Structure 1
């Protein structure tokens, strides 16, 4: 499965910097997750990003 964070972030009209600020996850980490959909990360990181975007973690998963 691949992560599709970028699509959701753009739909919400939020920059990487804004998402980093809201989620407490560094902008380089967000950039890495967006540009490397096969990147490995922790559930905690995904939960922080999902909370900041007001979505479920499962919304990030694309086949």
Structure 2
């Protein structure tokens, strides 16, 4: 499970940086805690809930499918 969480964290960071957003900006736009976003992108990430995935997708202006694509 940790491997997929690390892959998700890398994908999340990539999508955020492609949009020139800081972690603070994405956290605010997504309505999630900044520290939790740091953890999702960090070296020991947790598994986000479906609700959190939806919030992140909205914050990044993409679909959940796009957020999760290429993570295997």
TM-score by length of 1: 0.84
- The answer for unaligned runs of 5 or more in structure 2 is none
- The answer for unaligned runs of 5 or more in structure 1 is none
Structure with the higher helix share, 1 or 2: 2
Q: Which has the larger radius of gyration?
A: 2
Rounded to whole Å, the distance in 2 between the matches of 1:5 and 1:37 is 14
Is 1:20 aligned with 2:23? no
Instruction: Choose which of 32, 35, 56 in structure 2 pairs with 1:49.
Output: 56
- On the 8 A contact 2:39/2:45 being kept in 1, the answer is no
Q: CA RMSD in A?
A: 1.7
- Runs (4+) off by over 3 Å: none
> Corresponding residue for 1:40?
47
TM-score by length of 2: 0.75
Aligned residues: 63
> Corresponding residue for 1:59?
66
Superposed displacement of residue 24, structure 1: 0.6
